[in-house]
Amino acid sequence: MDERRRTFLESLLTTPAPSGYEAESQRVWLDYVREFADEVRTDDYGNAVATLHGNDTSVALAGHGDEIGFIVRDLTDDGFLRIERIGGSDKTVSRGQHVTVHTADGPVSGVVGQTAIHLRDPDDESVPDVAEQHVDVGAEDGDELAELVDRGDPVTFQQTLSELENGRLAARGMDNRIGIWAAAEGLRRAAERGVDATVHAVSTVQEEVGLQGAKMVGFDLDPDAVLAVDVTHATDNPDSPGKRSNGIELGGGPVVARGSANHPVVVDALREAGADEDRDVQLQAAGIRTGTDADAFFTARGGIPSANVGLPNRYMHTPVEVVDPDDLAGVADLIAGFAVRADDHAPFSVDV
């Protein structure tokens, strides 16, 4: 990954964007895609679209721009915050973490309290729900706290981006900064190759709370096909439950899902693009749903041929998600290759 692409990824990873509060991150994404898109636009909820205008065949390369997090539910009289989840935040990893409360007047640092091991009941190792946990910002009382924080302020883990061995990266929010990075890069790489089709790169909002942005964008764009790029579970680490193993490995290349929302013609086109791009492609079963924006895109406008393209990710929905940049480059090449070959497969209809 060259320096410009790495800087863009780091900028996305260090910009907070919990669902419903994505605007700052969307600005980072738009600043990048403006360099090579013919048009950029946003809607009233902040979904962002960058377009290369081409012929009548249109495809969308989409990631979701939001991340999980927390929200201030209440302020106690003695100066602590009570919080709730934004999306699928994990109660087992939140206690004892440094967090940032994003207020109208700027960031406020805090910690999620954890009773010392010396004081806990050794016979009770249960984990309290997020709603029962608290954030300590150091306020002396409720009056001081009320000067700093409002109900409804979003909260995120304080960011640490680490480079592990073999160039692998660990950070909060890989889900789904990698998706919007790949959508932007897929658009840029398609532009470099002189793509004929119209190509939209999309950064949706509020995926983590019900695929809401994709419902809006899918209806609005009405493309011939959509690729929803998101993380997927790499189950190659020791703690992955055997019964949930999916065969996906970190460093094994981009993942193409099959079944449920994944349109068979789009899937075949992706597999062909992988072969043409000399990129290894891993396959994943999705018998009921993908759990991604593809589940919203594929039913929009009476049906949009869609597929989920995944990036192997360890430790999803924790502050230490781990990905391999080689996989990420592979995703960008794969979706760009799909866009360049879109005319060969349009109108993406099933032969019945």
Give per-residue pLDDT as tens, 184-220.
999 999 999 999 999 999 999 999 999 999 999 999 9
Query: In which band, very low, low, confident or very high, does the pLDDT at 65 lie, cut at 50, 70 and 90?
Result: very high
Per-residue confidence (pLDDT) for residue 245, from 0 to 100? 83
What does the alpha-carbon distance between residue 176 and residue 160 come to, in Å, rounded to a whole number? 16
Same domain, 214 and 254: yes
Report yes or no on 163 lying in a domain. Answer: no
Same domain, 63 and 153: no
Q: Domain ends where: 123, 157, 191?
A: 157
Residue 28 predicted with pLDDT over 80: yes
Per-residue confidence (pLDDT) for residue 324, from 0 to 100? 98
Same domain, 289 and 141: no
What does the alpha-carbon distance between residue 3 and residue 324 come to, in Å, rounded to a whole number? 16
Same domain, 207 and 235: yes
Per-residue confidence (pLDDT) for residue 239, from 0 to 100? 84
Report yes or no on 350 lying in a domain. Answer: no
Same domain, 99 and 50: no
Residue 338 predicted with pLDDT over 90: yes
Per-residue confidence (pLDDT) for residue 242, from 0 to 100? 75
- Exposure string over 188-201, b if 16+ CB within 10 A, otherwise e: bbbbeeebebbbbb
Average pLDDT over the chain, rounded to an integer = 96
What mean pLDDT is predicted for residues 5-22? 97
**Residue position matching structure tokens 């039913």:** 299
Report yes or no on 187 lying in a domain. Answer: yes
Q: Domain ends where: 157, 180, 214?
A: 157
Report yes or no on 263 lying in a domain. Answer: yes
Same domain, 235 and 320: yes
Range(s) of the domain holding residue 27:
3-67+172-345
Q: What is the CATH number of the domain that holds 147?
A: 2.40.30.40
Provide the domain count of the chain.
2
The pLDDT > 70 percentage for the chain reads 100
Same domain, 327 and 339: yes
Give per-residue pLDDT as tens, 216-256.
999 999 999 999 999 999 999 998 887 778 999 999 999 99
Per-residue confidence (pLDDT) for residue 243, from 0 to 100? 73
N-terminal to C-terminal alpha carbon distance within the chain: 43
Nearest to 59 by CA among 214, 230, 195: 195
Binding region for Zn(2+): 64, 175, 208, 230, 317
Q: Is 77 exposed, middle or buried (0-12, 13-18, 19+ CB in 10 A)?
A: exposed
The pLDDT > 90 percentage for the chain reads 95
Binding region: 64, 175, 208, 230, 317
Report yes or no on 351 lying in a domain. Answer: no
Same domain, 43 and 177: yes
207 noted as active-site residue:
yes
Distances (CA, A) of 19 to 71, 92, 201, 251, 298: 10, 20, 19, 29, 22
Query: In which band, very low, low, confident or very high, does the pLDDT at 159 lie, cut at 50, 70 and 90?
Result: confident
Report yes or no on 81 lying in a domain. Answer: yes
CA torsion 177→312→63→5, rounded to 10°?
50
DSSP lists the bridge partners of residue 258 as 285
What mean pLDDT is predicted for residues 286-297? 97
Query: In which band, very low, low, confident or very high, does the pLDDT at 257 lie, cut at 50, 70 and 90?
Result: very high
Report yes or no on 162 lying in a domain. Answer: no
Same domain, 290 and 195: yes
Report yes or no on 302 lying in a domain. Answer: yes
Per-residue confidence (pLDDT) for residue 55, from 0 to 100? 98
Residue 1 predicted with pLDDT over 90: no
Same domain, 22 and 62: yes
Distances (CA, A) of 18 to 22, 27, 152, 183: 6, 14, 12, 19
Same domain, 192 and 307: yes
Per-residue confidence (pLDDT) for residue 244, from 0 to 100? 77
Per-residue confidence (pLDDT) for residue 241, from 0 to 100? 81
Q: Domain ends where: 108, 124, 157?
A: 157
Catalytic residue among 22, 67, 207, 277: 207
Same domain, 236 and 301: yes
